[in-house]
Structure 1
Amino acid sequence: MIDVDRLLGTTTVTSLRPSYEGANIGTIIGFKHVNYLVEQAILDHFRAAGAPAGRMYEDYGVGFDVVELDSRLQTALIVDDVVEAEVTPKGADDTGIRFAVALHVERDGAPKKAVTSKARVALRADERGSARRPLPDALRPLVIDRITATGQAVPAIDPAIHMAGKDGDAVIAALTEGRNAYGWKYRIPYFYCHFFERMQMSGYLRQMEEVVDLFLADRGLAIKQLLDERNWIPAVTRSHVRILGETLMEEELYTIYSVSDVFKDLLYTSTMDCYVVRDGVLVHTATGSITHAYGTVDNGCDGQLVTFDERVQRALHGAATA
């Protein structure tokens, strides 16, 4: 039985380990897998309240969807870390259940806060799911028919952009025209989705990870090139993804990535916006941002941040690199 009071009002603590897959450079865990830990901690919070995601779907026909993650990375997570995750409910309304999540690791014999995250979970009714049991009355107002950005400010789409009859290259050209931006079209595979049809949060995190890689290569700052030349790697200090609507399996997703700010030669922030074209209409399905620095890494995990030189500055601002 679901303990709604515990789900919506009690902090839980769980121990997790990062996935080995996330250690791509040395032993440091990348931002995508850091966010996976946040999602896993919230799933454990639901389990502790008697509401595991599988049973919610099987018994009540309700899907668990993380629809927003805003994570700040303060200390690098290492592949062998034991992560203590603290999940605190922060209220609920028709946009979902909000949580604050803190990830702690041990450093020099003492606990240290490594990540703080704000998250939101939507409970989405699913026509394929069965409803073998009545949903608890306290949760019924939180179940939605479709994931939308209801009650939130949605970035505006230029009404002059009309997509009917345009091919993929033309859509990207329209979305990037006059901007310091990079565009990418990708057919959404089934393994980015869940509950039979819709893209889940991990799929958007994958999009963000890959579009950064493609952008940097396009600007002459390919990851391997800077590793070989300078021992530089990108280091994420913050990532934010918000789902605005549903992207469906096998749709063509247009991901637009644009540098929005460069701060003191140390950090740069970029935006990510995701779109699909349905019946000739451009639909904005997700938005987000990511803040990067560059750092050097020695002995697998130890390193320090570096300042951007002219080459990096020119590339980030859209100028050609030598």
Structure 2
Amino acid sequence: MTALLENPTTGRLRPGFEGNNISFAIGFKHISYLAEAAVLHHFREAGLSAGELYRRHGLGFDVVDVHSRLGALLAVDDEVEAQVTPTTKDGEDRLRFKVEMFVERDGKRVKCAGSTVRVALRIDDHIKAEEPWPAGLERFATARLGTGERRDVAATPLPYGEFTAGRGTTADPVLAELVGDTNAFGWRWRMPYFYCHFNERVQMSGFLRIMEEAEDLFLADRGLAIKQVLDGRGWIPVVTQSRIELLDETVMEEELYTVYTVENIFKSLLYTHRMDCYVLRDGQLVKTATGTITHGYLTETAPNQWEMADMDEATLAALSTPRKAAA
């Protein structure tokens, strides 16, 4: 346990090509993917790989909180030096790590991103553990990932439809009740198995994808569809920081109600969203995840040279004006 809880590790990683959406830059969720990969490497170096934890000890590796900040551009061909430092405090029941990511630029070592990551070890009742848990691991093992906030709901959801219902719906009485008159966007979508792990629940990478999808749908709803804005104004969204925390478990094929709320607009450069995710159980909404994300726009001033763009009045008005959710 000393290696896991005290000894820093360094791994060399490369971002996934999937994250190379604009020019040669890597998008925000792949920064958090790298942070997760670095912590997984740390576990392997400590002799506690995720696969062995599950197979031998019946424990699922679950990232329950990831907070990432972008310091410099991460490029598709970069090799990232990821330093993981354990920061778990005495008495904490979640493993906590600081992840710092560095790349080489013109012969210099540059910090491109930093993350904090918390991990829970979920006791899995699908399998029987082959061996006892390693000594010292007990306080991080949990029968469930949190107990999310519950709230009563007066509305009755519409039938979801077939499995081929596409990207879900933005018109639903429960969404309308959740959004109300706030400056928010609501989305309901069944959770696919490929966002899940360990046979059952949505994992952190799934919620990172949900956050990005919610942003994409929100912008289209406000008349700021990404392709339209890129072609018309030469702008592309950029994320400077994001955080997601899991509050409860979201189970495969449950319908997730995502409420995406504009919280702040900083002058004409940045805006922040809060993402709150719920599932409906026994007539109550259970809050299963929450997070925040800070956005701006980049504009290409010369080939492959990008700078922050000043948002114009039309864009600021679109971000600021609430749209009533359809019931």
The residue correspondences of 1:1-20 to structure 2 (distance < 5 A) are: 4-20=1-17
Task: Report the equivalent of 1:212.
Answer: 215
SS at match of 2:21: strand
Q: Which amino acid aligns with 1:257?
A: Y
Shift of 1:245: 0.2
CA RMSD of aligned residues (A): 1.6
Task: Report the equivalent of 2:280.
Answer: 277
* Residue 104 (structure 2) pairs with residue 101 (structure 1): no
1:140-184 deviation line (CA, Å, top 9, x unaligned): 1210000005xxxx7x66x56335x43370110000001000000
SS at match of 1:234: strand
Distance 1:185 1:79 in 2: 32
Q: Is the 8 A contact 1:28 1:300 kept in 2?
A: no
Task: Report the equivalent of 2:163.
Answer: none
Task: Report the equivalent of 1:161.
Answer: 153
SS at match of 1:286: strand
Task: Report the equivalent of 2:109.
Answer: 111
Distance 2:203 2:54 in 1: 15
SS at match of 1:24: coil
The residue correspondences of 1:68-83 to structure 2 (distance < 5 A) are: 68-83=65-80
1:15-35 deviation line (CA, Å, top 9, x unaligned): 000101100111110111111
Distance 2:40 2:79 in 1: 17
1:179-230 deviation line (CA, Å, top 9, x unaligned): 0000001100110000000000000000000000000000011100111011
Indicate the larger mover: 289-298 or 39-48.
Answer: 289-298
Task: Report the equivalent of 1:287.
Answer: 290
Pick the aligned partner of 1:142 from 140, 143, 146.
140
Task: Report the equivalent of 2:168.
Answer: none
Q: Which amino acid aligns with 1:18?
A: P
Q: Is the 8 A contact 1:162 1:281 kept in 2?
A: no
Q: Is the 8 A contact 1:62 1:129 kept in 2?
A: no
Distance 2:280 2:37 in 1: 32
Percent of counterpart pairs with the same letter?
51
Distance 2:232 2:157 in 1: 41
Shift of 1:94: 4.8
1:11-64 deviation line (CA, Å, top 9, x unaligned): 101000010110011111011111100000000000000000000000000000
Q: Which amino acid aligns with 2:85?
A: T
Q: Which amino acid aligns with 1:137?
A: A
Distance 1:282 1:47 in 2: 38
TM-aligned CA distance change 1:301 to 1:16, over 3 Å? farther
Distance 2:27 2:185 in 1: 22
Q: Which amino acid aligns with 1:162?
A: A
SS at match of 2:300: strand
Using structure 1 for the length normalisation, give the TM-score: 0.93
SS at match of 1:235: strand
Task: Report the equivalent of 1:63.
Answer: 60
Distance 1:51 1:43 in 2: 9
Task: Report the equivalent of 1:23.
Answer: 20
Distance 1:222 1:137 in 2: 52
Q: Is the 8 A contact 1:259 1:271 kept in 2?
A: yes
Q: Which amino acid aligns with 1:269?
A: T
Distance 1:319 1:51 in 2: 48
Shift of 1:285: 0.2
Segments of 5+ residues of structure 1 without an aligned counterpart are none
Task: Report the equivalent of 1:181.
Answer: 184
Task: Report the equivalent of 1:36.
Answer: 33
Moved over 4 A (4+): 298-301
Q: Is the 8 A contact 1:24 1:30 kept in 2?
A: yes
Q: Is the 8 A contact 1:25 1:300 kept in 2?
A: no
The residue correspondences of 1:222-261 to structure 2 (distance < 5 A) are: 222-261=225-264
SS at match of 2:173: helix
Segments of 5+ residues of structure 2 without an aligned counterpart are 161-171
Q: Which amino acid aligns with 1:247?
A: T
Q: Is the 8 A contact 2:44 2:50 kept in 1?
A: yes
Distance 1:189 1:278 in 2: 18
Q: Is the 8 A contact 2:184 2:260 kept in 1?
A: yes
Task: Report the equivalent of 2:129.
Answer: 131
1:213-253 deviation line (CA, Å, top 9, x unaligned): 00000001110011101110001000000000000000000
TM-aligned CA distance change 1:17 to 1:301, over 3 Å? farther
Indicate the larger mover: 297-306 or 178-187.
Answer: 297-306
Q: Is the 8 A contact 2:152 2:285 kept in 1?
A: no
Shift of 1:128: 1.1
Using structure 2 for the length normalisation, give the TM-score: 0.91
